[in-house]
Amino acid sequence: MRTLLSTALLLTLLAPVTAHADKLVEDGTGIAFDSPQTIDGISFKCLGTGLRKKFVVKVYAVAFCLGADKADATVAAAAAKAGGKLDGDNKAFFTALRESDAAKAVDMRFVHDAGKDKIVDAFKDTLDEALGNDDADGRAKFLALVDRDIKKGDRMTLTATPDGKLTLTMAGHAASMVDPKIAKHIWVSWIGPDAVTPGLRDDIAARASKK
| Three-class SS state of 142 | helix
Closest listed residue to residue 85, CA positions, set 211, 1, 200, 205: 205
Q: What is the pLDDT of residues 73-87, one digit of tens each?
A: 999 999 999 987 899
Q: What is the pLDDT of residues 163-206, one digit of tens each?
A: 999 999 999 999 999 999 999 999 999 999 999 999 999 999 99
Q: What is the pLDDT of residues 36-61, one digit of tens each?
A: 999 999 999 999 999 999 999 999 99
> Which whole-number Å values give the CA distances from 30 to 23, 25, 102, in the listed order?
11, 6, 28
| Confidence band of 21 (pLDDT split at 50, 70, 90) | low
Structural domains in the chain, CATH included, are: 24-209 (3.50.70.10)
What would the mean pLDDT of 99-112 be, rounded to a whole number?
A: 97
